[in-house]
Structure 1
Amino acid sequence: MPEGVMGAVWAFCWGVAAASGSLVGAILGLITNLRHRSIAAFMSLGAGVLLSAASFKVASEALILASAASTVGGILAGAATFSIANAALVTARDRKRCGECKSQPSEADAPGSGTAIALGTALDAVPEALVLGVSLRTGGPDLALVMALALANLPEAISGTAGMRLASRSSTYVLSLWSGTTFGTAATTALAFYFLSDLGPDATAILKAYGAGALIAMTAETMIPEAFHNGPRYSGVLAAAGFAALILLSEFAR
């Protein structure tokens, strides 16, 4: 495992791989016209994948290294931090949303709404970047986790792009937003990897639990509502399939 600046560059590259689903999803959202039910189905799968990553890949590893009390405390602290930050976006109703879930105003109708969307998108990416950065520092690259994050980002970007198109936002705006999210996530991953080099196992475990809690809160507050809003009746099965898919990916990646 490389260290120092080269280690940060290495972590950045893995961050780009994990966040690449956002940019691919944005492009698909611009060139296709998927129906809401199709987007909701993909979102259900993505939500299941992220919940599996938070529990199966992150929280369970934290529990091995730290006590149950520390793990639970870290999870709740991470979830609370995300929820408070999300609530602080007083224009959260203007955040990225698929068109049929919740319409976005155009910049002309609501000046500053574009900034709210950008901030909300950036906030959603932080838990993933933290989880990946800690994972890279403690165990090296986890291909299953990287693939899971990339797959989960795909429907989220398709959904967000669909809402932005209905709000008459330009392709340049959409691609700039998701490109910034992709490389911003990678940069946050690199920073997390770089600054965690001196942490002991207990602190690392608590930070893992913190990231898991933030990831769970992000999934519950931003993905699940869209996944189940007028989605297919079998959305729960799709979410379970996404959860199980990560377990299979982990087995194949061994």
Structure 2
Amino acid sequence: MARVHILAHFDDEYFATPLIARAAGEQWFLYIADYATPAVSARRLAESRAYLAGLGVPPEQVIHVGAGSGAVDGQVHRHLPDLLPRLITELVRIGPIERFVVTAWEGGHMDHDACAALAVQVAGATPIDQITLYNGPGLPGRLFRAGSPLAENGPLVRTRLSRAEWLAFAAGVRAFPSQGKTWLGLWPVMFANYLRKGFAHQALAPARVGQRPHAGPLLYERMYGVTFAEVAASIRTAWPAGSPGNPPA
């Protein structure tokens, strides 16, 4: 049976590296966001495939589900009715699934939260793990935390890493040269938190996607001017009323 990662952007998998490296069996990576040009898409797909190949994942198991969808960075929540059947098509092709891994429901980036909502829609009774990327409860302006799970998302499942594993994880960021500027901001904050707290993930309960990620302004509200009300409404209207994890009106 397969473990399927539902991720927004190429390079999101980097945050799940310890889980990927430790997982036994078949792993698939399904990327939901589209990109501005085919050239950008191809370059970023190649970077993720190369990185994951180093962790034992064949390139044919790294799939760009959102290619050509128009759901570019920051727009995934607005394209959910088109993206859901694309995702289901790939899941049917993959076959039996034992576990999903998804970007956390944490208010850091609207595309990440939209992927969490997609995972809840397709998972049924299959367990879902969520990996934190970045968030910012209680912080002003553009400040954020990276690699720091939200308390609201429940108990931590810790993964202990050896010194060699930590060094390999830290060095892996070099696999994404097209995103060097972004990682210059994220990587130091991310590993500062890992140094203090270690690496952990959490289970995603379907009911969480029916709740605001945390009290106060969300990071994507502060950074991008996209409100949780808009994201929640997009999720709520993307599939039938009463679907699992629908945010309240």
TM-score range, shorter chain: under 0.3
- TM-score, normalising length from structure 1? 0.26
Is the radius of gyration larger for structure 1 or structure 2?
1
- TM-score, normalising length from structure 2? 0.26
> Higher strand share goes to which structure?
2
> Higher helix share goes to which structure?
1
